[in-house]
Chain A
Amino acid sequence: DGGITQSPKYLFRKEGQNVTLSCEQNLNHDAMYWYRQDPGQGLRLIYYSQIVNDFQKGDIAEGYSVSREKKESFPLTVTSAQKNPTAFYLCASNEGAYSNQPQHFGDGTRLSIL
């Protein structure tokens, strides 16, 4: 089945540590996205990529970094500069060619501070 796979499902970070969240899709989509969701809140855009080797900052990019070396992969690194990283992280993708296309989401990664 085609879809988006996020791993791990749960992740714990120590103070001063960088952690990387994985996102892989086999939908052959050009565009990929990372969102952050805090409890009881909506999703906020961290980074997005419209094509391989290119990405743009979203609304809350500080303390995060991404790469897009392959079409199917868009990993997110939460750096030690992100002082409040505890949240639910969702990866999404869509073809990008047409505006009416919904974004498809992975099942998310829950990140907590130790």
Chain B
Amino acid sequence: AQKITQTQPGMFVQEKEAVTLDCTYDTSDQSYGLFWYKQPSSGEMIFLIYQGSYDEQNATEGRYSLNFQKARKSANLVISASQLGDSAMYFCAMRVITGGGADGLTFGKGTHLIIQP
């Protein structure tokens, strides 16, 4: 079974600062994918970034980057130059790759990020 741990229930960050959201995972499988989602107070889940277990470079998508340390089983999300609109819940999730990409995701409990002006 897979497990995702997010140790920061809540974080307060000043606008324009960079922020790192922690995520550690546990799996015995060698082939897996890691995802980060943002959930605003309205409830929808917004995909941010993906990292595959065999990817040699850290993933980046605009202001989002993923600090992937495979040996430590960590996949931290870094948001550069934070904005007020970044205030939301952030979830780390994992998919073990068995027969393709149709398996369900295992989610962490999330981090509530609040950006202060």
Question: What is the CA–CA distance of A106 and B45 in the complex, to the nearest angstrom?
Answer: 8
Q: Which parts of A57-114 form the interface with B (CB within 8 Å)?
A: 58, 88, 90, 92, 94-108
* Most-contacted residue by chain B among A43, A45, A96, A106 (CB, 10 A): A43
- Nearest chain A residue, comparing its CB with the CB of B9: A40
The stretch of B69-77, B79-87, B98-106 that contacts the partner chain? B98-106
Q: List 27 interface pairs A-B (beta carbons < 8 Å), by A numbering.
A: A31-B101, A31-B102, A35-B107, A41-B109, A42-B91, A42-B93, A42-B109, A43-B93, A43-B107, A45-B106, A48-B102, A58-B104, A94-B101, A95-B101, A96-B100, A96-B101, A97-B100, A98-B101, A99-B31, A99-B52, A100-B33, A100-B50, A100-B101, A102-B35, A102-B47, A103-B47, A107-B44
Q: Interface residues, chain A, CB within 8 Å of chain B?
A: 30-31, 33, 35, 40-45, 48, 50, 58, 88, 90, 92, 94-108
